[in-house]
Structure 1
Amino acid sequence: MTPQLSGNYRRVSPSDIRLGEPLPYAVYDASGMLLLKAGFVINTERQRDVLVENGSYVSIDSAQPKPARPNLPTATVTEEHNSFEMFDLLKVRLKRTFDLYKSGGLTDDFVPRIEGIALTIQEACTHDTDSALANLHLDYDSSYAVIHHLQAAMLCELIGKKLGVPDDSRLPLIKAGLTHDIALLDIQDILDRQTTPLMPLQRERINAHPGDSEAILAKLGVHEKTWLDAVRHHHERLDGSGYPDHSLGPAISLPTRVLAIADIYSAMVRDRPYRKAMVSTEAMRKLMHEQGEQTDSRLIGMMIKEIGVFPPGAIVRLANGEVAVVKKRTTNTACPQVYSFVKPNGMPMLTPQSRDTTQESCRIEGMVPFSNHRASVVVLRGLWNH
């Protein structure tokens, strides 16, 4: 059992949450884990209902009635830092969930926890997709397991939305993205440090992890077919070369195909012990050229169009010699909004400067590995995290 809240807290009721208005107080789960910061905006009845049904709490002191404010600042829904900060919180929540699972401290509350994270991913992406994408592309300090699962889940949300799948129908796939490698969590820290070839037992664990993850999730109370099917088959390939069931094209469902692509891309753009992270353009090219026949090339093209050739958070070199970070996508995927933070002579700028990449002097010439500029991460995060 997880620890319970102590002190002056009460359960959230439906009347505490007004759709489309900033929360006047922070919301916690039964273990005292922060779920939503004050000021976060809930737009859907579904997310409000999940918070109420699964047991969310507020401090009695902070939830005392306050004088009415007829003109609440609902414009905060579109402020960029909301979604950026929300993904920082999601990292903490997912890590806490994984830690509790590994210690045996989760029973009935595993599914509600994952569902709450999935719903928050939907909300954050609805508010500001650029900030959500940037947050994960700029993070090379959080654990691989946390970032990989969050990034895969977010890509599932974005591709699913692009396909026109309704909000509720996208949730099982987002939850699959958050949990698809759960059977490897107990050895992930070892794999993250290992530079030698895999031992036979490790190879067996990796080959078995899709089916093992499905079984673990079923024991934790997962019953949704889409969630379980996507987890079991996310390493299947259209030509039958995948595992564990060697399924062929038509037998691989659309949600599973989406998760397979999200999983591959997310793994490519993260540092691994045996190789450096690929820049996103290289990962996309490799996906299209080397995985196009094994995965779904239509979905790969859809993902590239959705996140951009140069995704938010990507580090790029400009024609004038400056190094910049991508801030926002534009209708022209080759010309996003960027901010330069390194001068042509290699010296850092005191304050990042906006550059127009449609101008020849500021044209993007290519991408630069983030690892070359990790010392600038605080400055870069400041562009979103006001």
Structure 2
Amino acid sequence: MNGAKLNRADRPTTAYQAERPAAAMEVAMRTRNLKSFVVSLLALSLLALAGTGLAQADGFIVSDGQRVEVSRAAADSYPDGDGLKLTDGSYQFAWGDMVGFEGADPITFVVDLGATYDTISYVALKLMRSDGSGVPLPAYAIVSVSEDGLLYEDLGMATAYQEGEVGNDTIGTLVWADEAWAGYGQFVKVEVQPGSDAWTMIAELQVGNGAVPAELLPAASGGEAATADAVNVALGKSYTYTTLEPAAAYPDDGNVKLTDGSYAYAWGDMVGFPDPAANPVVIVDLGERVEGITRVAGLFMRSFASAVNLPFSLLVSVSDDGETYTTVGLAARTVPEPIMNELINSVYWQDLGNPAAGRFVKVEVRARTAWTMIAEIVVQTGAAVPEVVVEE
């Protein structure tokens, strides 16, 4: 029962107070009581499970045979007429197994699992790579989960492959896996960013619930985790807004607030965006190429009373020239966790074993509706440390 959260019944007590029987009778009574206890426990467990509304899967993969909806139509030559081709369990290196999309526009897939699962810890895409046919691998995929198919929460980004280096004319498995940050819901959304304006060919979409089998994890990469003291290399650095300017009520005169090292829970420390029509984007210029970037975080206000919520996530990219950017990860985790109201919360990306490098760090805020209030952007090197500490 992968990932189930069952309410275990308390062990029942016996009211049997009669005089102790002979040995044979005692054995019989103990056996009968044990059987009764097991039956009662099973019944109570089933009732508890029914009360949660959670599905119980026979195996780890829970998406097999489930329908997939797509944000844009597949090419006529590589269709998915009934929405079931990506969950049919067939992903050979063959054109007939592929659903194909042409162009650089993102492709969003939504799979309805048919029931609610509480430990959605794995999403994989089986993808073709064929250089001679103009089929590169995607740049990345963002994974989100929803209970109702309307409101989604970002879980993370798939950037690594199960096979490690994916050879030409083979199938690669792009994987997001995170048991510690698993999702809860019935609907899983996968936003795929094509690797070019040519073709993206997808053979299968898999969703797993529960403990991730070791053989399904991405191949190990990177070196030893960073151990040097953490340094905020964005402190005091210049930055620009590229899509939206802050609201007049919460301005950023001179563009200094987000790297000044001050992020108190105070309106004066905040830069505000009201119900943004586009994702706010901030580009921090570190002044020179910096190696070993292990953590990027945005520090946000959360105040339901003031209609201020955290963003869904932050898309983090780096560049050497400020023109061509490489996406390194999605900041979807938070400190504190769970997030807290009327407090500054850190939304962060972190990878101590595979640090990024560049002069420019781009942070795209995947904002919700209402107000988004940001106090600071932090870029750390070394053994990253949390920006927010909550005293217990």
Report the TM-score range of the alignment, normalised by the length of the smaller protein. Answer: under 0.3
The normalised TM-score by structure 1 is 0.27
Specify which structure has the higher proportion of strand: 2
The normalised TM-score by structure 2 is 0.27
Specify which structure has the higher proportion of helix: 1
The higher radius of gyration belongs to 2
